[in-house]
Structure 1
Amino acid sequence: MPEEDPRFGQAVALFNTQEWYAAHDLFEEIWHETAEPDRRSLQGILQVAVAQLHLQRGNRRGATILYGEALGRLRRPGTPDLGLDLEALCCVVEQRLHQLQHDADPESCTVPQLQPLP
């Protein structure tokens, strides 16, 4: 289970402090060592981090594509939550995707965060 790996907590902390590149790298290390279906959850989280990185670099098209792909993975039935509130993450990603699709500023929305399940 990836959430039992000490690197997982570090990756979550990096994600939540908006250190998108470092979070991506650490989640990717774990992803390479993980089997399905947990792998799908990690890939969705990775895609959100990379979408955020694209936005920082002004690549709205890349962010739009990755947000959509992340939602497809994270909302797929049977996707493990890894102890995280992935539904809350998906709601934020949906809002940001909607802003991008309507040529609005996604930065007016909440920044994606990974919160533990209650």
Structure 2
Amino acid sequence: MVTSSGADRDRDAHGRAENARPRDGLGRPLPHGSPGVERVEARDRTPDEALAEAQDYLDHEMPFHAHEVLEEQWKSAPDPERVLWQGLAQLAVGLTHQRRGNTRGAASVASRGADAIERYVAIAPHGIDVAGLVAWARAMTGDPSAEVPVPSLRS
């Protein structure tokens, strides 16, 4: 990692801005030098690997990290599935906002995620419980301050 000369921002080897600060389990930046949770490894994953890894993060109350896995999958998915993966990533962001106490953000992002994945209900690719996730997101959107269980990505 390289830091730029004037702005003192974290940069990658290509000079792009990068936040190397440690993060907590909900993805909030911590001060440099603080112990944080391990970051999500950027790598190619099969859909099955991505779903299993994202579910593991969700089950460990780390929805921000689940979002990172799902977002990476979205960006590499074939066109017919891109909206599905984007919507799944949005659901994880919605849960992240909810866990952070940002109920307005939680409702907004979860609603967009549900709208995105709803078109996949009939085909439910990769064993994804699309109908269950839409119902979960609609319930969270209806009352984002209520206790919300971790969703199950697959049936």
Q: How would you bin the TM-score normalised by the shorter chain?
A: 0.7 to 0.9
Backbone CA RMSD of aligned residues: 2.2
Change (3 A) 1:69 1:2: farther
Greater share of helix: 1
Please say if residues 55 and 63 of structure 1, whose CA atoms lie closer than 8 Å, have aligned partners that are also in contact.
Answer: yes
Structure 2 residue aligned with 1:44: 87
Task: Give unmatched runs, 5+ long, in structure 2.
Answer: 1-44
Structure 1 residue aligned with 2:26: none
Change (3 A) 1:12 1:32: same
Instruction: State how far apart, in whole Å, the 1-side matches of 2:112 and 2:55 are.
Output: 20
Identity of aligned residues (%): 25
Q: Whose RCO is larger (CA < 8 A, sep 6+)?
A: 1
2:104 aligns with one of 48, 55, 61? 61
Shift of 1:81: 3.0
Instruction: State how far apart, in whole Å, the 1-side matches of 2:118 and 2:50 are.
Output: 24
Q: How many residue pairs end up in the alignment?
A: 110
Instruction: State how far apart, in whole Å, the 2-side matches of 1:80 and 1:39 are.
Output: 14
Please say if residues 57 and 65 of structure 2, whose CA atoms lie closer than 8 Å, have aligned partners that are also in contact.
Answer: yes
Please say if residues 16 and 114 of structure 1, whose CA atoms lie closer than 8 Å, have aligned partners that are also in contact.
Answer: no
Q: Rg larger in 1 or in 2?
A: 2
Q: TM-score, normalised by structure 2?
A: 0.61
Q: TM-score, normalised by structure 1?
A: 0.78
2:152 aligns with one of 98, 113, 118? 113
